[in-house]
């Protein structure tokens, strides 16, 4: 009754009040990644091809090393201080045009060798001064897992239908460190498959990883959790889940 009176009052003044529907960053829950993908009505499993065309590498001078980007430089400065840089090899899954390589370089001055695994449609121009350190790869079969020191999933593992397959390769080749950052987790016993709803007009699958399930898998393969943060509790909306049911975490695992 009260809302109707207020609406009529402003209508007489020449204003129309319209209820803005709730915006949800994530929508619905599905039984599998594949079912979420089919429900997306999308021809690709991530953003559009047009969104992934051609990029230039971010300018080192314009980068701000803050928030989650502090994790890698600090860790490298402590853990790898006494190790020859040429002996270290990193793989970043989903580094885009803003790879962790640049944040480490800006913070520590060290140039580590980085391979960046990206979507096949992603094209980038790399300055000549980085050619000996940065290499973009577009298929798993082109990665030499045997020589890797660490693998970094920088906000990418939650979009990967085959993430367990990739982890198995790391386990088999005994990669020393696994970083998982800027990734949505849940305390539920199983992964949750949903659709992300906040990038352009495209919806695509997102996996809310079960922290319990992931820890169990890593521990089974002799990896120990040595660093953990929890952030952004309640920062995003889901049309079914409560805000407290999912959150962003940063994790570092080390092979024992």
Q: 27 with 238: CB under 8 angstroms? A: yes
- Mean local confidence (pLDDT), 216-245: 93
pLDDT of residue 67: 79
pLDDT of residue 206: 95
pTM, two decimals, is 0.86
Better-predicted residue by pLDDT, 175 or 70: 175
CA–CA–CA angle 23, 28, 34 (5° rounding): 130
Q: How far is CA 21 from CA 155, 196, 239, in A?
A: 28, 17, 11
Q: Residue 38: in which H helix or E strand, if any? A: helix 33-40
Closest CA to 112 of 76, 151, 82, 136: 76
- Domain positions in the chain are 25-255
**3-state SS class at 142:** helix
- Mean local confidence (pLDDT), 93-122: 90
Banded pLDDT at 7 (limits 50, 70, 90): very low
Better-predicted residue by pLDDT, 141 or 8: 141
Q: 26 with 235: CB under 8 angstroms? A: no
How far apart (Å, rounded) are the C-alpha atoms in residues 116 and 143?
A: 10
Using one digit for the tens of pLDDT, what is the confidence trace for 187-205?
999 999 999 987 666 788 9
How far apart (Å, rounded) are the C-alpha atoms in residues 133 and 214?
A: 31
pLDDT of residue 55: 73
Rounded to the nearest integer, the mean pLDDT of the chain is: 85
pLDDT of residue 46: 66
Which residue spans within 38-77 are E strands per DSSP? Answer: 54-56
Q: Tell me the percentage of the chain whose pLDDT exceeds 90.
A: 55
Q: CATH top-level class for 25-255? A: alpha beta
Using one digit for the tens of pLDDT, what is the confidence trace for 51-96?
555 678 888 888 888 877 888 888 888 888 767 777 899 999 988 8
Residue 138 has pLDDT above 80, yes or no: yes
Using one digit for the tens of pLDDT, what is the confidence trace for 22-55?
588 999 999 999 999 999 887 766 655 555 556 7
**3-state SS class at 70:** helix
The two three-digit tokens of residue 133, written as one number: 């350190």
pLDDT of residue 120: 80
Q: 110 with 90: CB under 8 angstroms? A: no
Residue 14 has pLDDT above 80, yes or no: no
pLDDT of residue 124: 87
Banded pLDDT at 10 (limits 50, 70, 90): very low
């Amino acid at each position: 009754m009260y809302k109707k009176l207020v609406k009529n009052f402003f209508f007489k003044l020449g204003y129309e009040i319209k209820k803005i529907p709730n915006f949800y960053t994530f929508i619905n829950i599905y039984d599998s990644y594949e079912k979420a993908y089919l429900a997306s009505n999308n021809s690709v499993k991530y953003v559009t091809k047009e969104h992934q065309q051609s990029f230039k590498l971010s300018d080192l001078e314009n980068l701000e090393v803050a928030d989650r980007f502090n994790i890698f430089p600090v860790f490298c400065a402590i853990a790898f201080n006494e190790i020859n840089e040429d002996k270290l090899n990193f793989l970043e899954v989903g580094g885009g045009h803003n790879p962790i390589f640049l944040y480490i370089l800006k913070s520590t001055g060290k140039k580590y060798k980085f391979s960046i695994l990206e979507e096949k449609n992603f094209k980038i121009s790399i300055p000549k001064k980085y050619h000996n350190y940065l290499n973009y790869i577009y298929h798993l079969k082109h990665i030499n897992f045997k020589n890797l020191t660490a693998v970094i999933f920088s906000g990418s593992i939650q979009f990967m239908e085959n993430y367990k397959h990739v982890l198995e390769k790391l386990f088999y080749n005994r990669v020393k460190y696994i970083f998982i950052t800027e990734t949505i987790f849940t305390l539920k016993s199983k992964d949750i498959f949903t659709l992300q709803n906040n990038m352009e007009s495209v919806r695509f699958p997102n996996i809310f990883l079960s922290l319990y399930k992931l820890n169990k898998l890593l521990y089974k393969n002799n990896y120990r959790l040595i660093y953990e943060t929890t952030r952004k509790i309640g920062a995003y909306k889901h049309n079914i889940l409560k805000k407290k049911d999912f959150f962003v975490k940063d994790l570092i695992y080390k092979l024992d």
